[in-house]
Amino acid sequence: MSTPDGRGQQLVQHEFSVLRDRVREWVEGPGELWGSRIEADDVAPGELFDALRTEGFLGLAAPVDLGGAGLSFSQWMLLMELFSRTHASVRMLVHVINGTWRSMNPYADPWQRETFVTPSVRGDILVAFTLTEPDNGSGADITCTARPAEDGYLLTGRKHLITFGVRCDYWLLFARLAGSSGKQGTVALLVDRHAPGVTVEDTSRTMGVHGTDHASLTFSDTPVPVTNRLGAEGDGLTIALGGFLTPSRISVAMSCVGLAQRAQQLAVDYSRHRVTFGKPISSRQAIAFMIAENEADIEAARALVLHAADEWERGTDRAGALSSMAKMVAVDMLTRVTDKALQVHGGRGYMKSEPIERVYRDARAQRFEEGTNEIQKTVVAHDVFERARDRKDQP
């Protein structure tokens, strides 16, 4: 029996194998066509969202009783690996929508589950995770304020770098009660995209990940009914960081693995067909060594990501630190792999006509998603020193 965040569920192996093959075929077929269209128009159209919903790809990770496919988290990571080989906006859609329910469901009451959680799993609504602020980090220092008012709160403050913040139906927003400090004063609110007192700025023009909208949001006494508060007052950061961030960091790490595999595939194919002095460049030791280094790099990162996924699935106390290790290692791996893959292509790799050019740009965004490597190192170091102290204190 699964928990509210999906741990304990699993699709039987035969059914999962069939699903995995179907995802792979979609990624290599329609997914690539969508990628070309997104790059041409610089927009991830509503039809893509509809196509993903029709395929059932927006609720794969959720429990069956929420309308999902009931995959285990480790199974979901194996599909995330595939989705990440196609366009970054496709990956971003399936990553976010297959993750936000996990943050909401453990704290949702029956009405909230019916109104927000199951419609999100079905793909009927889009909920944008809304934590980051322009002048703060993404933790207990948030300053976006929820002031108690009749039947709810008045929201004031700013958020930025909010993925799908323009086109969403609701913002899953984290704020603090006026006058409070620390995580004890934080709240999680589902804010209607069309609520009064909100200014939405589209900040979607980015180096890579074209087509995914990003928003900067300003709230000025925006009303939020108390019925739209998840959990109790004081639960905000627990909902944000515990329910979403740890599995999401593992998912982002696996997306690095999938994108690196795509870069490696492109480099291998190009090196086998590019001929100099009568021989394919794959026969040149300099090229072969880069390919070999990439392969080992990818396999090592993948093993760590799957280990972190297993630890989170089993609910161990190492899962949080391992999620940061996985993200940190996978991001650095992706940087090395895409750099070498581009180098294998030579000057042609710098041309927009080559798929590796898009992969190279998209890879840079992973360095910021779900926290920079500097943040991950802080988390890991804290875990190392805490465990060292605990060992010393043991009798």
Pairing of strands 279-280, 214-225: unpaired
Q: For residue 118, name the pLDDT band (cuts at 50, 70, 90).
A: very high
Beta-bridge mates of residue 280: 275
Query: Mean pLDDT, to the nearest integer, of 147-161?
Result: 94
Question: What one-letter code names the amino acid at 336?
Answer: R
Q: For residue 268, name the pLDDT band (cuts at 50, 70, 90).
A: very high
Q: What is the CATH number of the domain that holds 211?
A: 2.40.110.10
Verify that 165 and 216 share a domain, yes or no. yes
Which of 10, 231, 241 lies closest to 105, judged by CA?
231
Contact 31, 93 (CB under 8 A): no
| Predicted structure pTM score | 0.92
Verify that 251 and 309 share a domain, yes or no. yes
3-state secondary structure of 368: coil
Chosen domain end from 234, 261, 276: 234
Tell me, yes or no, whether 8 lies in a domain: no
Residue 394 has pLDDT above 70, yes or no: no
Tell me, yes or no, whether 5 lies in a domain: no
- Token digits for 45? 């159209």
Tell me, yes or no, whether 287 lies in a domain: yes
Chosen domain end from 96, 125, 154: 125
Verify that 92 and 206 share a domain, yes or no. no
Chosen domain end from 125, 157, 187: 125
pLDDT value for 198: 96
Q: For residue 392, name the pLDDT band (cuts at 50, 70, 90).
A: confident
Could you give the residue ranges of the DSSP H alpha helices within 208-245?
236-237
Tell me, yes or no, whether 254 lies in a domain: yes
pLDDT value for 1: 62
| Structural domain boundaries, residue 318 | 238-393
Q: Is residue 393 packed enough to be buried (19+ CB in 10 Å), middle (13-18) or exposed (0-12)?
A: exposed
Contact 224, 147 (CB under 8 A): no
Residue 391 has pLDDT above 90, yes or no: no
Task: Give 60's DSSP letter.
Answer: T
Could you give the residue ranges of the DSSP H alpha helices within 147-245?
236-237
Verify that 346 and 277 share a domain, yes or no. yes
- Token digits for 96? 């976010």
Verify that 171 and 309 share a domain, yes or no. no
How many distinct structural domains can be found in the chain? 3
Tell me, yes or no, whether 1 lies in a domain: no
- Token digits for 112? 């909230």
Whole-number Cα distances in Å, 338 to 121, 162, 254, 274: 33, 26, 15, 18
Q: For residue 300, name the pLDDT band (cuts at 50, 70, 90).
A: very high
Packing angle of the helix pair 73-83, 13-26 (nearest 10 deg): 20
pLDDT value for 7: 83
Query: Mean pLDDT, to the nearest integer, of 323-329?
Result: 97
Verify that 121 and 134 share a domain, yes or no. no
369 catalytic? Reply is no
Query: Mean pLDDT, to the nearest integer, of 51-69?
Result: 92
Which of 140, 142, 145, 52 lies closest to 97, judged by CA?
52
Tell me, yes or no, whether 7 lies in a domain: no
pLDDT in tens, 277-299: 999 999 999 999 999 999 999 99
List CB contacts of 318: < 8 A, sequence separation 6 or more: 311, 383
CA 106 from chain centre, in angstroms, equals: 19
- Token digits for 151? 């039947």
Verify that 146 and 283 share a domain, yes or no. no
Q: What is the CATH number of the domain that holds 86?
A: 1.10.540.10
User: What is the average pLDDT score of the chain?
Assistant: 93
Verify that 364 and 258 share a domain, yes or no. yes
Verify that 49 and 164 share a domain, yes or no. no
Whole-number Cα distances in Å, 241 to 185, 238, 359: 15, 5, 29
List CB contacts of 333: < 8 A, sequence separation 6 or more: 256, 257, 260, 297, 298, 300, 301
Which residue in 81, 133, 357, 370 is the catalytic one?
Answer: 370
pLDDT value for 390: 82
E strand intervals along 226-329: 229-230, 275-276, 279-280
Question: What one-letter code names the amino acid at 137?
Answer: G
